[in-house]
Structure 1
Amino acid sequence: MKPNGNALRLLAYAFAAADHGSLRQAARALGVRGSSVSRNVLKLEQLLEMQLFERDFRGVRLTQTGRAWTDVARAHYDGLLDAFTHCTRDHKDAKTLRVGLCWVTGGEFLKRLIDRFVAIYPDVSLTIEDIPTGQCLAAIRRRRLDVAFTYDLGPFTSCCTEVFWQERLFVLLPSRHFLVDRPAIAWSDLAEMCLLVPTGSEGPPVDLRLLQRIATDGGPAVHTCRANQATVILKVQLGQGVTLAAESYARTVAVDSAIWKPVEGQNSVNSIRTVWLDSNPKGVVHRLIAIARNMAEAP
């Protein structure tokens, strides 16, 4: 078979004829003349040296050989259409920046970073969404997200990662806890308490290795809960333990019958990592990283 520059068109006509069982109806669906469909279907058969259709006064129907061939060809055809669609979408996405937050609730650095980026590049459409822990890296690798901000998830295989800022940890105490009058709390002060950590669909809110250090360095025993943050907060209100969160969350979310206190000493900060794909062709991704790097290096 000789190469043919109109192969996709020939396939489209053949698939339409097979779907409608009529050259005339296929032409109507494609918005072309019936003779055009007939001519192109015949041309495809000649190129393949294969009879795809049986023709009679009732219309057309695939031959057994034609059905076997179209079943295979259609899968490849759909894949090509998807590739063209993604190419078109990627072109439109060149000025779209998709940001994912994985247990990162904001913070002053992130707010200033986004404000500065938007001020410099007002024509870029910036979207922000939450991303569960288990999906974060895959979303970056598959370019569903361009940049993600998260705590340390372990090995960031095939992704670029850099720490631009840290957040102080806060602990949530029941309002009647004997430590509520302290200006700050050390983990050793809570050695007899239970540290409740949510591990619902979004995963834990901090690095698991940090939790291990808290427990082994004389801190409270870590108890993971198959629940979200709201449920864990309820447990704290009921006096069943304490929980932790980053400063940006603690200063934003007030809780009845409980109080947030800053943590001091060892294991009192959580590093926030920026994750991106170096092979991402979008210039806006690398511009955001450059701005973040400059902000982090500024005195």
Structure 2
Amino acid sequence: MDVSALTLTQLRYLLAVDEHRSFRGAAESCRVSQPALSMQIRRLEEILGVCLFDRGKSPVVPTDVGTRVVTQARLVLRECARLPDVTQSSDEVAGSYRLGVIPTLARTLIPRLVASFTKAYPRVHLVIEELPTDLLVRRLLEDAVDGGLAVTPLGSPAIHERHLGFERFFVYLSPKHPLSKSPEIRQSDLVEYKPWLLSEEHCFRTQILHLCSIDLRQQPSDGGVRFEAGSLDTLIDIVDTGHGLTLLPELVANRLAPERKSQLRPFSPPVPVRRISLIHARQQERRPLADAVLSILTEGLPASLRRRPTDAVIPPILPAHRRKK
């Protein structure tokens, strides 16, 4: 097989069709006409001597061999994109770095990163995107991002985790909640008083379900309100109106106004914590840039988060129906 006529453009078009599952959508994303893109995919198939997509299905899906070619094409383009990096001197931190951040860390960690990072590393173009955990992992494996800030352990052999800190959990109570008289909250207290939760795409939600031993399938459906929020700020506002309680990670709790902090309660030992890490795919680590991100974030963290706890680390358990995908 002579692949000398194969082009990087053909591989980019291949990945676009795989991502959009549509020749039209792929052409629009690549800003070319659909006939031009289709012709290049046909040419690629002729070079390789295989059919890459089942065009009889809607949406378009790759064939079995097409799936393998897509995987290899992604590796080829990934390595090609690194050519500018190898021209930099070994001790120079420069280039671009794409960082994904889960929503419950974005508001508290990114402000600590941006100002200090741009001052310390002016030759780095840092691109930051907010992503839920499962999408962040997928983007890492697809090389759509270089690294991520997430809660670990993820239990994936394809993901490398570099420890950053441990964040304690706090209970945030409505002003007249029965538990507000307690100086500390036991985990068993939350079985009776169900907390308000984030929506399903947030790993912090599944940590709370695990911590409180809540099975939503067994919740009564004949009364009460069940609301799942997109942000912790919304849950805080609901609690402030005098309704129930929620759980907050330490950095969010630290940002509360002084009048709101009186509504916080710590957990009695063992205190639940979540582990924060910089993650990346093992085969795509960009060590100097990753080290730079890690060092700036570590320097900006409160000392309480940098100490290794002796308490219970709650893993970011993904919902069962999403782990199967």
Does TM, normalized by the shorter one, top 0.5?
yes
1:166 and 1:270 in contact (8 A); partners too: yes
Q: Which amino acid aligns with 2:244?
A: G
Q: Does the C-alpha gap of structure 1 residues 273 and 75 become closer, same or farther in structure 2, counting only changes over 3 Å? A: same
SS in 1 for 2:284: coil
Matching residue's letter, 1:205: F
Describe the superposition over 1:86-129 as per-residue Cα deviations: whole angstroms up to 9, x where unpaired. Answer: 67655568711122211214557x76666665444221011222
Q: Pick closer, same or farther for the CA change 1:256–1:235 going to 2, 3 Å.
A: farther
Preserved CA contact (<8 Å) 1:183 1:261: no
More divergent stretch after superposition (256-265 vs 236-245): 256-265
8 A contact 1:140–1:146 mirrored in 2 = yes
Instruction: Go from structure 1 to structure 2 and tell me whether the alpha carbon gap of 1:238 and 1:194 turns closer, same or farther (over 3 Å shift).
Output: farther
The alpha carbon displacement at 1:252 in A equals 2.8
Gap change, CA 1:147 and 1:240, over 3 Å in 2? same
Residue aligning to 2:202 = 203
2:249 pairs with 1:246: yes
Q: Partner letter of residue 122 of structure 2?
A: P
Residue 192 of structure 2 aligns to a residue in which SS? coil
Number of residue pairs the alignment of both structures matches = 231
1:261 Cα deviation after fit? 0.7
Task: Please tell me whether residue 275 in structure 1 is matched to residue 276 in structure 2.
Answer: no
Taking structure 1 as reference, are residues 267 and 214 closer, same or farther at Cα in structure 2, changes over 3 Å only? farther
Q: CA distance change for structure 1 residues 178 and 137 in 2, over 3 Å: closer, same or farther?
A: same
Q: Is the 8 A contact 2:117 2:296 kept in 1?
A: no
Please say if residues 173 and 239 of structure 2, whose CA atoms lie closer than 8 Å, have aligned partners that are also in contact: yes
Whether the 8 Å contact between 1:147 and 1:275 is mirrored in structure 2 is yes
Tell me the CA shift for residue 137 of structure 1: 0.8
1:133 counterpart letter in structure 2: T
- When structure 1 is superposed on structure 2, of 86-95 and 276-285 the one drifting more is 86-95
Cα 1:215–1:255 change in 2 (3 A) is farther
Cα drift, residue 131 of structure 1: 0.6
Supply the distance in 1 between the matched residues of 2:80 and 2:154 (Cα, whole angstroms). 35
Letter in 1 for 2:43: A
Larger Rg: 1
Residue in 2 aligned with 1:164? 164
Residue correspondence of structure 1 range 89-128 to structure 2 within 5 A? 90-91=82-83, 95-102=95-102, 103-105=104-106, 107=108, 117-128=117-128
1:72 aligns with 2:72: no
CA distance in 2, matches of 1:8, 1:258: 62
Q: Does the residue aligned with 2:149 lie in a helix, a strand or coil?
A: strand
Which structure 2 residues correspond to residues 1-299 of structure 1 after superposition, within 5 A?
7=5, 72-73=42-43, 90-91=82-83, 95-102=95-102, 103-105=104-106, 107=108, 117-152=117-152, 154-180=154-180, 185-188=185-188, 190=190, 192-200=192-200, 202-205=201-204, 208=207, 211-215=209-213, 225-229=227-231, 230-252=233-255, 260-265=263-268, 266-280=270-284, 282-288=286-292, 291=295
Supply the distance in 2 between the matched residues of 1:288 and 1:211 (Cα, whole angstroms): 35
Is contact 1:173-1:258 (8 Å) kept? no
Cα 1:71–1:115 change in 2 (3 A) is: closer
> d(CA) in 2 for partners of 1:123 and 1:92?
13
Paired amino acid for 2:229: A
Distance 2:281 2:76 in 1: 22
Q: Which amino acid aligns with 1:104?
A: L
Gaps of 5+ in 1: 13-68
Distance between the aligned counterparts of 1:262 and 1:254, measured in 2? 15
Question: In the TM superposition, what is the alpha-carbon distance from 1:281 to its structure 2 partner?
Answer: 5.4
Structure 1 CA distance for aligned equivalents of residues 285 and 192 of structure 2: 52
Deviation per CA, 1:119-152: give whole Å up to 9, x if none.
4422101122211122021111112221211113
* Partner-residue secondary structure (3-state), 1:104: helix
C-alpha contact (below 8 Å) 2:186/2:267 kept by paired residues: yes
- State the AA in 1 paired with 2:105: V
One-letter identity of the residue aligned with 1:137: V
The Cα offsets for residues 214-247 of structure 1, whole Å up to 9 and x where unpaired, read as 449xxxx9x9854323554454345442111212
Change (3 A) 1:154 1:260: farther
CA distance in 1, matches of 2:166, 2:199: 22
